Amino acid sequence: MLVYSIFSKTGLESPTKMQLAYWENDSPFSILLANTGSGKTLAFCVQLEVQLQRDVFSGQVLILCPTRELAAQVAKNFTTLKTGRKTVLCYGGHSLKNESLQLQEYPQVVIATPGRILDHLKRGTIGLAGFSHLVIDEYDKTLEMGFLNEISQIYTYTNTLKSIQLISATEIESLPDFLMEYTFVTHNFIEEEKPHLTYFSVEATGHDKLFALVSFLASKNFGPVLIFCSFREAAERISKHLTEYGKSNVLFHGGMEQVERERALTKFRNGSANCLVCTDLAARGIDIPEIEAVFHYQYPHTIQDFTHRNGRTARMKKDGCVYLIHSEEEPLPSYANTLSIQSVKVPDSIGEFNDAQWVTYYLSAGRKHKIRKVDVVGFFLQDTDIQKDELGMIDIHDSYTYVCISKKRKKYVESLFPRIRIKKQPVLISKCR
């Protein structure tokens, strides 16, 4: 079957039950409902490629994503299919000029945030020939973030649509008027894919929630964790406090520059920091590793947002831990009343943290300098004393690269500063901020 041929290129062993069931759908107009972390992105990418291969005159594809991080994740997933299709990624924080140059090559697939692609369309950027296939990923989140007006305007730039996929982690109550002319087939896997979560309450003495959080984190050897706050200021305060106590962590919220957010996720993914202090921006639409536990330092207003936060854990193993930090006089949110919650004791003092065992370094060369991952690996393993097991994740970007190296080699790596040579090119190297 065509779908298995396409999936096999990902290198994964087998698709999930949800993905298989969705691919059995023959309708070009479909709605996919599934929980966070269930594999929705790969599901619709494969489905899209099936539709494109069946239609020789496929036309241009637009995949809309509510956040920059999700757009990058979708692009990464589509690349794993090794389709050979020209793909362009468009979002705020990218160079508009560089995007315009890439779009002039008339790509088959454009992956974008609503505001950025609408900007290109209004400017009349060459290469946008009218879209024939439309995917809206995290459709519920897209509407929640107020993009309905932008999507309505984008729709006016489409050709006769041959396929539409709406992807959502929650039920879709109604469709906008411009989509009412289509008959959608809905595939609902929300109840089938529910993860197994264990809930714990961590009660602070008096009002000192910060002490409770820090002391509890130090008392256990946690793997990767997320600490959710409702406000950016709170996230910044907690991140700073954790750093003062020696806990490696990274900050992630919508008020940060795109390069800062990108850097934070890189350090979290590669193990340079195993604690991400974040707002609800991290609840959905970002590609992060298996999360051992989710901490709620501040609570969201709705059970839907609470559920999305918790969905960051229990993704593949289908079980995870959720910790609710609260003071003696602060009641848990009403939606927690239906949960079975175990109480855990807060230590009387803050112990020592097991710090991260990896360090991230910045190299001033990337794809546009013809630098590939194999070139970076070759330099460190052949031209330095770094061993294979001391070299971690490598992330190549357009004009720079992040390299993760064992912390025990920190002194040696920094002796290479400030300049090295890769493929005979001079490259600056420094510790990633």
Residue range 251-292, pLDDT digits in tens: 999 999 989 999 999 999 999 999 999 999 998 777 776 789
What's the whole-number mean pLDDT along residues 297-322? 84
Report d(CA 384, CA 387) in Å as an integer.
9
Question: pLDDT grade, residue 129 (50/70/90)?
Answer: confident
Q: How far is CA 119 from CA 58, 208, 319, in A?
A: 24, 47, 42
User: Which pLDDT score is estimated for 413?
Assistant: 96
Token digits of residue 211: 């002490």
Extents of the domains making up the chain: 2-188, 196-344, 358-431
Q: What percent of the chain has pLDDT over 70?
A: 98
Average pLDDT over residues 126-132: 91
Mean pLDDT in residue range 119-141: 93
pLDDT of residue 56: 61
Question: What is residue 55's predicted lDDT score, i.e. its pLDDT?
Answer: 74
Question: What pLDDT shows up at residue 401?
Answer: 97
Measured between alpha carbons, how far is 271 from 279 in angstroms, rounded to an integer? 20
Contact present, 110 and 36 (Cβ < 8 Å): no
- Tell me yes or no: is domain 196-344 CATH 3.40.50.300: yes
3-state helix, strand, coil in the chain (%, to 5): 35, 25, 40
What local confidence, expressed as pLDDT, does residue 331 receive? 85
pLDDT at 188 over 80: yes
Q: What is the pLDDT of residue 33?
A: 93
CATH of domain 358-431: 3.30.70.330
Q: 4-8, 217-221, 240-244, 376-380: lowest mean pLDDT where? A: 4-8
Give CATH superfamily name and number for 2-188. Answer: P-loop containing nucleotide triphosphate hydrolases (3.40.50.300)
In the predicted model, what is the mean pLDDT of residues 396-417? 95
pLDDT in tens, 156-183: 999 889 999 999 988 888 899 999 999 9
Tell me the C-alpha distance between 391 and 385, whole Å: 11
Q: Give the model's pLDDT for residue 17.
A: 87
**pLDDT value of position 193:** 65
**According to the per-residue pLDDT averaged within each range, which of 19-28, 175-184, 312-321, 348-357 is highest?**
175-184
Taking residues 182-194, report their average pLDDT: 86
Same fold, 2-188 and 358-431: no
pLDDT tens for 325-356 read: 999 888 899 999 999 999 998 888 888 888 88
Binned at pLDDT 50, 70 and 90, residue 102 comes out as very high
d(CA 379, CA 396): 14
Strand-by-strand arrangement of the 401-406 sheet? 391-396, 401-406, 358-363, 425-431, 419-422
* 8 Å CB contact between 354 and 221: yes
pLDDT at 245 over 80: yes
Residue appearing with tokens 């940060």: 256
Which residues 6+ apart lie within 8 Å of 114 measured at CB?
64, 66, 142, 147, 150, 151, 154
Average predicted confidence (pLDDT) for the chain: 91
pLDDT in tens, 38-50: 788 999 999 999 8
Is residue 410 within 8 A of residue 397, CB to CB? The reply is no
Distances (CA, A) of 301 to 203, 275, 280, 337: 20, 23, 11, 14
The pLDDT value given to residue 315: 65
Q: Evaluate if residue 316 carries a pLDDT over 60.
A: no
CA-nearest of 376, 425, 428 to 405 is 376
Average pLDDT for residues 120-126, to the nearest whole number? 95
What was the pLDDT predicted at 116?
A: 96
